[in-house]
Amino acid sequence: MKRNSLKHLIELLKDEDPKASSHAMAELLASLPPDSDLLAELQEDQDPALRKSAHQMQVASRQRLFRKEFLDKDRIASSDIMSLLTDIHMMWFDEDNVADISKDWEDLLREASEFEFKNLSDLASFMRESGFRTPSGAEFYPEDFCFGSVLNEKIGADFILAVIAAGLAMHQEHKFAIVKTDAGFGVMDRHSRISIPSAEWAVVHDCDELNTKLFDKEMLCRNCISMLFVASIVGDSFRYSHIFGTALSGKDSISELMPHPLGKCGEEDRHRRSNKKSDPK
């Protein structure tokens, strides 16, 4: 970025018009690296408005880097699925408290510890009797794909419910896999029996015709982020479409990939058609 343009944007950060200052912040964030010395310098400026804007940019820059590198294979490998799903939850509900989500999980573990899971049927019965179920309607809510919300409401996407069930079983030293089948996601034991959350946790003993596919942590996270990306498009949310699009693509910005009005993809064709309509014959 040219020095004059940079200086102009820094001056705009002090503007009392929130639209002007927000625009300047967006332009600077798109141009500066996350570890920019300039952001650190601005946070020490004498102007309180400038300091505040610089701090907001620093936080936003770190969050952007976090989202960009979220699906890094080493990061996924070193984290447990509950922590990863909690992080994804916080991308959507950024004002929620991680400690509250952890408490809900610990409470559920404590409740489940009073029951002995001898097999997959026992686990399925516990999940069903505890009220965990998939949504009954066709509505598309982001809460259904957010781990903390599903824990709290006991309603959510089948793959989130399957993760919860497998996590509870693991604490009783049962290792169940998360699988995707023609009937939806489910929990599978070592005998290839599968419990399907969307079928009221019914246990299928013959799964040869279900086209079973194992899902690991990365696949589950990618699926979760993809569904929240779709939710952001359905909800016409510019902010969330870019948050989850960045996490999926690993790019700093996805403006060039997103169609109007969420991005710039197809902008030249749109201008060309507009000019063609306005040209007199």
- pLDDT tens digits, residue range 94-103? 889 999 999 9
pLDDT at 9 over 80: yes
**In this predicted structure, what is the pLDDT of residue 237?**
82
C-alpha–C-alpha distance, residues 238 and 229, integer Å: 10
Reported confidence tier of residue 45, pLDDT bands at 50, 70, 90:
confident
119: closest CA among 58, 186, 193, 183?
Answer: 193
**In this predicted structure, what is the pLDDT of residue 256?**
62
- pLDDT tens digits, residue range 57-97? 877 777 777 777 888 888 899 999 999 999 999 999 988 99
Walk me through the domains of the chain, giving residue ranges and CATH numbers.
3-68 (no CATH), 73-219 (3.10.620), 251-281 (no CATH)
C-alpha–C-alpha distance, residues 108 and 126, integer Å: 11
Q: Token pair 């919860």 is at which residue? A: 164
- Top mean pLDDT of 4-13, 137-146, 182-191, 272-281 is at 182-191
Q: What is the pTM of this model?
A: 0.77
pLDDT at 209 over 80: no
